C-alpha cells in the first residue's frame, strides 16, 4: 500500500465516486479511498462518476482529495508561507490545503537556528514522499531559480525592490525579487544576515555581467540622515557661499536662536553630515561640500 500511496499523494489523480454521507463523498482509485468534502462541490456528484483532484493525507492521517489543488505538488514548485517552527523537526509551511501543512525537514534548513525561516516567511518548495508515503517539503535549488528567473530588461539601478532570501552563502545572500529577478546581497550591504525565506525591502545598486542584480539592504545616504541633519543641509545649500558661522565651538544659545535646536542636536546633525561627506568644518565655519551640493532639498541626489 505504501508504494501505491507514493504514486498518488501530492499529485492530481482521478478516481470513482463510490459512496457518500452527509458531509463527504468517497472517491476510490487503485483500491484506496479518499474523502472529498462536499462543501467544495457545487453540483451533487453521482455514484460511479469520475472525479479529478489533488490527493493528500490530512492532519488526522486520513486520505483526502480536493478540487482546490495547490501549486505546490510533486515535481511542481511554488511559494508557501511558514506558519510554525518546531526545533528538532523543521518548519511547517502552508501551501493552501485546509487541513494540512507541509514540513520542511531541519536537514534542509541552515545549521544556525537563527537563520531558520520564521512565521510569515516564504519558501519555494515542491512535495517529495518518503518510503512510508509521508509528504515533505523539498526546497528549490539554485538551478530551479535560474530557470524561473526573468531577464532584467530595464535599468533598475537605485530602484526599490522587495526580495525573498532563498540561499544563504558565506559570500552573501541570494534573493529573488517579486518580479522574479535574481539578486545578490554582499555582506557589506547588510547589517545582519537575512533568514532563509525572509522578505526584505531593498534597493538595487547595479547589475552583474550575468544579469544578477546587486542588492543592498542599507539605506540611501539621504534616508540615513535624521530631520535635524536634513534641516542643516538645507540651510547650508541656501547660505551664501555654502557656509554658516557655526561649529561645535559655538554657544548653545546662539545655536538655539538660529536653528531652533539644542547644541547636542546640532552636534549630532553635523556629525551625520560629515559622515556622509556632505559638510566639513574649518576656519570657524561649517561648509557645504560638493557632495552636499549635489543633494536636493529632500536630501536626494540630483
The predicted structure's pLDDT at residue 248 = 87
Tens of pLDDT along 228-286?
A: 888 999 999 999 899 999 998 999 999 999 999 999 999 999 998 998 889 999 999 99
Answer yes or no: is pLDDT of 225 > 70: no
Please write the tens of the pLDDT for every residue from 179-223.
999 999 999 999 899 999 999 999 999 999 999 999 999 877 656
Structure confidence by residue, pLDDT tens digits, 40-78: 999 999 999 999 999 999 999 999 999 999 999 999 999
Phi, psi dihedral angles at 50 (to 5 degrees): -95, 145
Contacts of 91 (CB under 8 A, 6+ apart): 82, 84, 85, 103, 104, 109, 116, 117, 123
Going by the DSSP 8-state scheme, the letter that residue 215 receives in this structure is: E
**Ranges of each domain in the chain:** 2-66, 78-140, 154-216, 227-293
Q: Residue 102's pLDDT is what?
A: 98
Q: Among 190, 144, 151, 149, which Cα is nearest to 169's?
A: 190
Residue 51 CB partners (closer than 8 Å, separation 6+) = 14, 15, 16, 17, 25, 27, 36, 45, 65, 67
| Grid coordinates belonging to 225 | 540622515
Fold (CATH) for 154-216: OB fold (Dihydrolipoamide Acetyltransferase, E2P) (2.40.50)
Among 111, 90, 114, 87, smallest CA distance to 102 is for 90
Q: What is the pTM of this model?
A: 0.74
Q: Give residue-wise pLDDT tens across range 19-40.
A: 999 999 999 999 999 999 999 9
Strand order in the sheet with 279-282: 243-244, 285-288, 279-282
User: In 3D, which of 264, 175, 279, 184 has the Cα closest to residue 225?
Assistant: 279
The pLDDT confidence band at residue 297, using thresholds 50, 70 and 90, is very low
Mean pLDDT score across all residues of the chain: 93
Q: Which fold has domain 2-66?
A: OB fold (Dihydrolipoamide Acetyltransferase, E2P) (2.40.50)
Task: Answer left, alpha or beta for residue 18, where phi above 0 means left and psi between -120 and 50 means alpha.
Answer: alpha
Contact indicator for 214, 288 with CB cutoff of 8 Å: no
pLDDT tier for residue 298 given thresholds of 50, 70 and 90: very low
More confident residue, 223 or 139: 139
Instruction: Answer yes or no: CATH 3.30.750.24 is held by domain 78-140.
Output: no
pLDDT of residue 302 exceeding 90: no
**What is the C-alpha separation between 300 and 302, in angstroms, rounded?**
6
Q: What is the CATH number assigned to the segment(s) 227-293?
A: 1.10.10.10
Domains 78-140 and 154-216 alike in fold = yes
Between the alpha carbon of residue 281 and those of residues 119, 245, 264, 278, 290, the distances in Å are: 49, 10, 16, 11, 14
- Residue 1 is classified by DSSP as -
Amino acid at each position: 500500500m505504501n508504494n501505491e500511496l507514493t504514486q498518488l499523494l501530492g499529485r492530481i489523480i482521478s478516481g470513482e465516486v463510490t459512496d457518500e454521507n452527509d458531509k463527504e463523498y468517497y472517491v476510490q482509485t487503485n483500491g484506496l479511498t479518499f474523502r472529498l468534502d462536499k462543501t467544495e462541490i457545487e453540483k451533487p456528484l453521482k455514484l460511479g462518476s469520475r472525479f479529478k483532484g489533488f490527493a493528500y493525507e490530512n492532519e488526522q492521517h486520513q486520505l483526502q482529495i480536493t478540487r482546490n489543488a495547490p501549486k505546490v505538488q510533486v515535481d511542481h514548485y511554488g511559494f508557501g508561507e511558514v506558519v510554525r517552527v518546531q526545533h528538532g523537526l523543521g518548519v511547517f509551511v502552508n501551501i493552501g490545503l485546509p487541513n494540512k501543512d507541509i514540513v520542511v525537514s531541519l536537514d534542509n534548513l541552515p545549521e544556525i537556528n537563527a537563520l531558520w525561516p520564521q512565521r510569515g516567511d516564504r519558501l519555494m518548495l515542491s512535495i517529495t514522499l518518503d518510503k512510508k508515503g509521508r509528504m515533505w517539503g523539498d526546497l528549490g535549488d539554485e538551478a530551479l531559480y535560474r530557470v524561473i528567473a526573468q531577464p532584467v530588461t530595464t535599468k533598475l539601478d537605485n530602484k526599490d525592490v522587495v526580495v525573498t532570501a532563498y540561499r544563504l552563502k558565506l559570500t552573501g545572500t541570494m534573493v529573488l525579487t517579486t518580479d522574479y529577478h535574481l539578486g545578490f546581497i554582499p555582506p557589506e550591504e547588510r547589517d545582519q544576515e537575512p533568514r532563509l525565506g525572509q522578505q526584505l525591502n531593498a534597493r538595487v545598486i547595479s547589475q552583474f555581467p550575468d544579469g544578477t542584480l546587486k542588492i543592498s539592504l542599507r539605506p540611501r545616504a539621504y534616508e540615513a540622515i535624521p530631520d535635524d541633519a536634513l534641516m542643516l543641509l538645507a540651510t547650508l545649500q541656501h547660505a551664501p557661499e555654502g557656509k554658516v558661522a557655526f561649529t561645535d565651538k559655538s554657544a548653545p544659545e546662539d545655536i538655539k536662536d538660529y536653528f531652533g535646536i539644542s547644541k547636542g542636536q546640532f552636534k549630532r546633525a553635523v556629525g551625520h553630515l560629515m559622515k556622509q561627506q556632505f559638510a566639513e568644518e574649518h576656519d570657524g565655519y561649517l561648509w557645504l561640500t560638493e557632495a552636499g551640493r549635489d543633494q536636493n532639498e529632500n536630501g536626494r541626489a540630483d
